[in-house]
Every structure is written in C-alpha cells, then in structure tokens.
A = this chain, B = another copy of it.
C-alpha cells in the first residue's frame, strides 16, 4: 500500500516525540508499505518565529512572513529523516521546492494548484521513506507560500490525491472523531466511520479535528482519510464518501462557542434591505453564519445573524457607518452565545429529528434563540452557559438512544 501519514506540530515537538513518530513510520514501512510523511513545524516553532518577526516589524509583508515560517517545516522534515536514519532505514526529506508543490500567490493562505510527483515517486521506487514539508507551497515566481490554518492536513490530502495513495492517515492528539466533545459529554463515543459531508459539518461547527479544506479536497478526489492518534495504536475514524455501517440518524453533536449574535432592530420593511446588509458585510470580509429575519410588522422588521466573536467589533462599526443606508433603529448584540449542532447523513430523510431536538432542549430547560438547518445538520443558538448542558442532553437523546434501539 502507498500510505500518506500526516503528523502535527505537537507530535514532533521534541527529540523524544520525533523518535516515537519515527518508530511509527518505520513500523508501517516494515509492513511493506510505501510511506510518505507530511509534517508540521515543531511545537511552538511557528509562534516563536512570529514573535521574532513582530519584534522587528509587526507589519511585515505576508510574502516575507511565509519565507520565515516555511523554515519550521523544513527543520521538522530534516530532523525526522535523521531519526529514521538512526533506526537504520532509507529516508529522504523534501520541501515544497523539491516536490514542486505549486500554489497561487495568496501568501499566508495560499491554495495548492498542483504537485509534481516525479521526485516523490522516484524516491519511493528507490525504497526511500519520503518526508515532506506540510503547510507550504511555491507560487509561479518560486516564492514560498504558506497554506493557512490546517495547511498541513491539506498538504497531506493533496499529496494522497496526486499520488493515488491507498490511505491518508491524519495523526492528531485525539484518537478519532467523536459523537461529541468527550471532555463535555462523558458518554461520547468514537465513530468508526463518517462521511466527508458529515465531517465537513462537524469541522465547520467547531469540532477541530480536521480542517475543512482538507476534507473538501479528500471528498473531491475521493481520498481515503483516517483520523487517528499519534500516541496510541487505537483504530481511528475513517472519513469516506459512503459509510458501510447503517446510517445513524445523528452522527455527532458539535459545540461552537466562537459565536456572537447581532440584531438590527427596526429595519425598514422593504425589498433589498437584506441584500444591502450582507453586501456591506461581504465587502468587509465578515463571514456570517446563521441568519434570521422576523416577519415584518407595520413597516419595520428585525434581522439577526451570527459572526465570530473576533469579527463582532468590525461588524458593529460597519453597520454604524451605514446606518442611514440601511435605515434601522438600533443594533443589539450578544457575544455570550454558542451554537450547538447535530450532524447526520440520515437526518435528511427523517422528519422527526427537529421535534426530538426541541424535546431534548425543552426537557433540559434550555432556551433556544435561533435555529438553522441544512440537509445533514440542525444548529441551535443558545446562551453560552447552556451550551455544554445542551450538548449532553442532545447527545443523550439521539446517540445514546440510538444505541439502545
């Protein structure tokens, strides 16, 4: 088998962990696999480099920041190659120049365009374990780019896609995807399988196991993804197009606390107001999540929506600046809210889910502020203080009950 394995920064934070990961890699190689490994920068390296840069210039260009940060992954891959050499196995490290991992020029958040697999394939044919820098690419000028948050996951999936790998294993500090956050919901259990779409919803709803871009890419190229722990041999969670197990109604409960609610009160009840509002926010690059519009009374209505807490201040400023154009009376906001969501591919065909959901929150005495639904998820906006309790109640209702059926 050709396997791509990705290890994050905490897995390679020091010499001891590097040696541990080296053993994991060699074990797979000894089983007769061709092994390609994608690594992030060691532990706090990236943060340390950012600090160094800020000391010199807090407004440095993203192009130079990428040039600086890309050294972190290059150090990781060289050190890992050395650890594998110490175990006596053939290995070579490669960076984005050597693999020709080309990207667009959007420094600090670039998108991979292509990977020239020739060098990698040659090294694999020469029986080498191949260790590749994650998180980075080169643009058409040969300038270094970085891929933004979750970039190494994306590198791994892109490599798996281009190399037609049989498997792409993402090693993390958890041993798979859970039905809910195990720190909050004690009865949460690990899912053996999950679909790409479910994983996408989970990720976007605050379950930070895999970054969305990597899952989207895996879905597009049908890459067999596995999320597993770098510390244990436990089987992880397989992410794939169709799960073989019978579809559960709900596959997971996710909580996202990085949410702020904003309401425009007393907006004129006339066509085009929502269009104006969201054009303004889009121009400011503010992402909006749940949107609710009240039914107009007389000539006025209310529009509520959620953003991340980081964007709250900018959002309010943008609204104030356009008060006349939008024609509202007041702005109200609450940054102590959280989004609790249930995700499941089985949901689309089952009309009773919403009812069960409200039964769970009603039984737990939790007030629901806003609701948003999609094919495979329902999200509720609740007070932040109720979020964990809501996730336990909903998990009990759907997933533990599901087990009992």
Residues of A within 8 A of B (CB): 15, 18-19, 49, 52-53, 55-57, 59-61, 63-65, 67-68, 70-71, 74-75, 77-79, 81-83, 85-86, 92-93, 95, 97-98, 119, 138, 141-144
Contacts and interface: CB of A to CB of B under 8 A. Distances in A.
8 contacts: A53-B79, A56-B83, A57-B86, A60-B82, A61-B82, A68-B79, A71-B75, A98-B142
Main secondary structure of the interface of A (DSSP, over half): helix
- Which of A74, A82, A86 is the most central at the interface, judged by chain B CB atoms within 10 Å of its CB? A82
B67 A74 contact: yes
A61 B74 contact: no
B97 A56 contact: no
Nearest to A69: B78
Given A68-B75, A75-B68, A82 B97 contact: no
A97 B78 CA distance: 17
A97 B68 CA distance: 15
Closest 10 interchain pairs by CB? A68-B78, A71-B71, A60-B82, A57-B86, A57-B82, A67-B78, A97-B97, A15-B55, A64-B81, A64-B78
Nearest to A15: B55
A237 to B, nearest CB: 31
A43 to B, nearest CB: 12
Contacts of A19: 56
Contacts of A61: 81-82, 85
Nearest to A143: B98
Given A67-B93, A97-B97, A142-B97, A57 B74 contact: no
Contact of A53 (B52, B56, B82): B82
Given A49-B75, A74-B71, A75-B49, A82 B98 contact: no
Contacts of A93: 64, 67
A18 B60 CA distance: 14
Contacts of A52: 15, 75, 79
A14 to B, nearest CB: 9
A388 to B, nearest CB: 41
Contacts of A55: 15
Contacts of A56: 15, 18-19, 79, 82-83, 86
A59 B86 contact: yes
A57 B71 CA distance: 20
A85 B70 contact: no
Contacts of A75: 49, 52, 68, 71
A65 B77 CA distance: 11
A83 B57 contact: yes
Given A85-B60, A98-B142, A142-B97, A65 B78 contact: yes
A59 B82 CA distance: 8
A273 B142 CA distance: 56
Contacts of A77: 67
A70 B144 CA distance: 15
Contacts of A85: 57, 59-61, 64
